[in-house]
Chains A and B, each alone.
Chain A
Amino acid sequence: MEISVKSKSLLYMKRYWILYAMLLLPLAFFIIFRYIPMGYIQIAFKNYSIVKSPWAMDWAGNYGFEYFIKAFSNRDFLYALRNTIMLNFLDLLIGFPAPIMLAIILNELAFKRFKRFTQTVVYMPHFLSWVIISGLALQLLAPTTGLVNIMLNKMGFASIPFLNEPSYWVVTYIVLGIWQSCGWNTIIYLAAIAGINPELYEASAVDGANRLRKIWHITLPGLRPTIMILLILSLGHILGSEFDRPYALSNKLVTDVSNVISIFVYNNGIRGLQFSLSTAVGLFQSVVCVIFLFTANALAKKSGERGIW
């Protein structure tokens, strides 16, 4: 018995070793660039010094938690935390279903050439950097010189403060986010739709199901595992914060809602040379992200889905 398992494994390795060999490079990447740097997490608990190795730095006060206490007693950090959660939650609520709907609509397009064209067009914004998008937004949405507001004025309406009032700014932020990433995110859903067995559609057609029925009973259930996995992964990002999107779109009038954790870290930590503080905040973010990821996964498994592992 023992021997047969061993020889079976040997045989397996002999046949597939090349696949494992190909895995070595990515593994090396993760070990070198993701695991080894984790040793530097200790900077969060130490007084940073540029000339010392992290192992030799002195421990920070309050049993090493000085910088965590410093962050949490900083009002700006708490606002940044609130804004991060708010913007990410809205992104999830509105931005997450958008590509699913778009993918279904694209899938239903009968005219194939038009479908391909549309797909390409909706991907495009994904390749624009946020700096460019914020430039476009200013050209279009500024209160007096923005094209949209000029048009509104000509039609007799007042300007809408898309960028200079916090509540409007949040809407602009979310909508631009959807515009930028929605098309790109449809790719994975379109791939999943393509994997649904066409016989199911044929059978339902025979049963007299119309389009909406087909979408409801075949396409959506077919997409369910994909949706769950992507949802779990996005929940893992609930406290992660992008930097360039809020930073590029922000201005001094909306900092109450636009200052997110990454901007706090940039201004107070990096530019203020407080590296221990930045690391402490980064570690806090990561820990919360991991908790969310595990919780979401456990919940998914409990409700009968596969989860991500």
Chain B
Amino acid sequence: MGFRKGISILTISAAFALALSGCTSDKPAPSASTAPTASSSPSDSGEGGTDAKLEALGLDSNLKFKETRKITVEVYDRGNDGGTKPEDNFYTTYIKEGMLRDHNVEVTFVPVPRWTETEVINNYLAANQAPDVSLTYSYPTIQTYANMGGILDLAPILAENKELFPDMFEYLTETNIYWDQDPATGTLWALEGRLNVLNRINTFVRQDWLQKLNIEPPTNLQEFESMLRAFKDNASTLLGADADKMIPFSTSFDVGWRADHLTTSFMPNDLTDKDIYVNGFDDRLFLMPNYKEGIRTLNKWYNEGLVWKDFPLYPAGDTTEDNLMKLGHVGAFMHNWDYPYRNGDDSIHASLQRLVGPDAAYVAVESFPNDAGVYKKFLSGPIDRKVFFPATNKEPIASLLYVNWISKFENRVFLQFGEEGVTHEKLPDGSLKTIATTGEKIMNSPANIDYTITSNGINLGDPDLTVKSIANGYAGVDSKLIEIAHKITTNDGRIGKNANVGQIKAEDGQGQALKEKRDTILNKAVVAAVDKFDEIYDSGMKDYLNSGGQAIIDERKAAWEKTYGTETMLK
């Protein structure tokens, strides 16, 4: 009897656990691992000139290792349709053979899924299994592990062996190489890859509508506004039976991105580098002075019926808005600099030409000067992926030689364009045009960006040739449209500068929560009634600042003043 009762208690507690498990949730997966140990700088300092130094490193005078060294290198895996194995294909063979020929280094690639790269490299680092040459877009991840002793400090190695890596220094420049150096301790946990194309956002309008209504491309806010009103008033001329579907201006829940040129034009032209840094935590520039007035304009448009009514409802990645553009209902919008032209046959441009007519096209316009009449745009810094070596890397010199090799002009251009006649052709003007291919020579990522880890975007040395080659990349789009877009998106741009003042503690873990708050405030403010706008915007902003925004601004300000004193501009 007692036994049976015991069993039934067990059964019940199991059932109880089932009920309990129903309401517990969100426990992080435990990770069991040991702390990686920091390794000391491995290179011996060569006292007796270069030869002795090379000797000590095991290199001959051609920078070839006397004994074969082995390194592992991270490569993103996109799992693309019809793609090859990212760790074993035509291009990896090119790299492997090259590294073995030039430096006697054997390279093994380690695939890491592109869209979960941060999580996966996190796991590798925690398990002491990260590839010798690792990369990520997330500097905070590197910083977290560096704080725990899991990352190799590159500063002393580079200081001693700079001359071994001429191509890397020439291509990345000291700016990118020392971008992340800690101002206080001098440690350097990562090298910043180079972002060749700083293009960010453009304002697009329907070129054919402008012609139909005989309007010049707008060059200021008033002209832009009257253009939107003209679109609305002439809906039946422009859309015929679909006149009630007219959307003069469309945006999305990501108002900050999708109204960027408008909001930027309200910021004072004389912002100092200090202002920009101190108020620059938010990547949509939400904290910049006068941002509110840009949103107020959008709110006015919304209440006049000039803005797509349903914009806040659709989540990221939803194609409803794209479809409205493709159907030809949208007059103007702001988005990524080449947004209507990307994706070949499926692009907004191609669909518009198919569904509406051969004249229908979006063209980039320059409509939002600031208080000084400058078409200022805030561009990002010339940085991209961060290349770092985990503390478990026993071959830092061989690894840096790899980074050097991949930054070398011939090597990176071959990887970006592949073989002539297979993945690219040379046009009469000397520019290159990529050809989509299938089979073993397919590029798994655009211009093989996953192999050229120090480059994002093409750079053929000659700027003219580069622009033409970029335009060639958009099949079926008049290259003139691309050239206009390419020119306007960086016109009067302020390239992001490196205010390196060390880690800002208040930012830890705040990014996502504050981003959600920002989007909520902006969406509510845009759809508010005009007389409620101030109340909604101000109370939202107050909440944002109280929830960590103000602490970030204060800490950034203090850190700036500690590093740069009373200076307000960076050199």
**B313 pairs with A164, CB closer than 8 A:** yes
**B547 pairs with A51, CB closer than 8 A:** no
**A51 pairs with B148, CB closer than 8 A:** yes
User: What is the CA–CA distance of A308 and B122 in the complex, to the nearest angstrom?
Assistant: 44
**A240 pairs with B1, CB closer than 8 A:** no
Q: Mark A17-53, 1 if CB is under 8 A from B, else 0.
A: 0001001001100100011010011010000111111
Task: State how many angstroms separate the Cβ of A306 from the closest Cβ of chain B.
Answer: 13
Residue A15 CB within 8 A of the other chain? no
* Count of CB-CB pairs between chains A and B under 8 Å: 158
Given the interface contacts A233-B19, A270-B26, does A251 sit within 8 Å of B253 by beta carbon?
Answer: yes
Given the interface contacts A143-B309, A251-B313, does A273 sit within 8 Å of B509 by beta carbon?
Answer: yes
Stretch from B9-17, B178-186, B224-232 that touches the partner: B9-17
Task: State how many angstroms separate the Cβ of B229 from the closest Cβ of chain A.
Answer: 19
Give the residue of B17, B31, B32 whose beta carbon is less than 8 angstroms from that of A35: B17
Residue A293 CB within 8 A of the other chain? yes
**A272 pairs with B25, CB closer than 8 A:** no
A-contacting residues, B139-164, CB 8 Å: 140, 144, 148, 150
**A142 pairs with B313, CB closer than 8 A:** yes
B-contacting residues, A241-294, CB 8 Å: 241, 243, 251-253, 255, 262, 265-275, 278-279, 281-282, 285-286, 289-290, 293
A-contacting residues, B496-519, CB 8 Å: 508-513, 516, 519
Give the residue of B22, B36, B546 whose beta carbon is less than 8 angstroms from that of A236: B22
Contacts of A78 in B (CB 8 A): none
The residue in chain B whose Cβ has the minimal distance to the Cβ of A149 is B310
Given the interface contacts A23-B11, A164-B312, A272-B511, does A51 sit within 8 Å of B126 by beta carbon?
Answer: yes
User: What is the CA–CA distance of A59 and B144 in the complex, to the nearest angstrom?
Assistant: 19
User: What is the CA–CA distance of A62 and B120 in the complex, to the nearest angstrom?
Assistant: 34
**B33 pairs with A76, CB closer than 8 A:** no
Contacts of A239 in B (CB 8 A): 23
Q: Mark A208-234, 1 if CB is under 8 A from B, else 0.
A: 000000000000000000000000010
Residue A9 CB within 8 A of the other chain? yes
**A145 pairs with B523, CB closer than 8 A:** no
Kindly state the interface size class of chain A when it binds its partner.
35 or more
Residue B520 CB within 8 A of the other chain? yes
User: What is the CA–CA distance of A149 and B16 in the complex, to the nearest angstrom?
Assistant: 46
**A236 pairs with B19, CB closer than 8 A:** yes
**B509 pairs with A49, CB closer than 8 A:** no
The residue in chain B whose Cβ has the minimal distance to the Cβ of A134 is B315
**A145 pairs with B148, CB closer than 8 A:** no
User: What is the CA–CA distance of A75 and B547 in the complex, to the nearest angstrom?
Assistant: 8
**B148 pairs with A309, CB closer than 8 A:** no
**A282 pairs with B315, CB closer than 8 A:** no
Residue B30 CB within 8 A of the other chain? yes
Give the residue of A236, A262, A290 whose beta carbon is less than 8 angstroms from that of B26: A262
Task: State how many angstroms separate the Cβ of B39 from the closest Cβ of chain A.
Answer: 16
Given the interface contacts A51-B33, A51-B150, does A289 sit within 8 Å of B23 by beta carbon?
Answer: yes
User: What is the CA–CA distance of A51 and B144 in the complex, to the nearest angstrom?
Assistant: 11
**B4 pairs with A237, CB closer than 8 A:** no
Give the residue of A40, A53, A145, A282 whose beta carbon is less than 8 angstroms from that of B310: A145
Give the residue of A30, A251, A271 whose beta carbon is less than 8 angstroms from that of B315: A251
Given the interface contacts A164-B313, A253-B523, A271-B512, does A285 sit within 8 Å of B23 by beta carbon?
Answer: yes
**A20 pairs with B22, CB closer than 8 A:** no
Give the residue of B30, B309, B519 whose beta carbon is less than 8 angstroms from that of A37: B30
Residue B35 CB within 8 A of the other chain? yes
Contacts of A9 in B (CB 8 A): 1, 3-4
**A252 pairs with B523, CB closer than 8 A:** yes
Given the interface contacts A142-B313, A143-B310, does A268 sit within 8 Å of B20 by beta carbon?
Answer: no
**A30 pairs with B30, CB closer than 8 A:** no
User: What is the CA–CA distance of A232 and B315 in the complex, to the nearest angstrom?
Assistant: 36
Contacts of A255 in B (CB 8 A): 516, 520
Give the residue of B22, B513, B527 whose beta carbon is less than 8 angstroms from that of A268: B513
Contacts of B510 in A (CB 8 A): 272
Chain B residues with a Cβ under 8 A of chain A: 1, 3-4, 7, 10-12, 14-28, 30-36, 122, 126, 140, 144, 148, 150, 253, 309-310, 312-315, 318, 320, 508-513, 516, 519-520, 522-524, 527, 543, 546-547
Instruction: Please list 7 pairs of residues, one from A and one from B, whose beta carbons are closer than 8 Å in the complex, sorted by A's number.
Output: A9-B1, A26-B14, A30-B18, A74-B547, A75-B546, A142-B313, A274-B509
Chain A residues with a Cβ under 8 A of chain B: 5, 9, 12-13, 20, 23, 26-27, 30, 34-35, 37, 40-41, 43, 48-54, 74-76, 138, 142-145, 163-164, 233, 236-237, 239-241, 243, 251-253, 255, 262, 265-275, 278-279, 281-282, 285-286, 289-290, 293, 308-309
Can you name 16 extra interface pairs (CB under 8 A) apart from A252-B520, A272-B511, A286-B20?
A34-B21, A40-B30, A51-B36, A52-B35, A76-B513, A233-B19, A237-B22, A240-B24, A243-B25, A251-B253, A262-B25, A265-B25, A273-B144, A278-B26, A278-B27, A279-B26
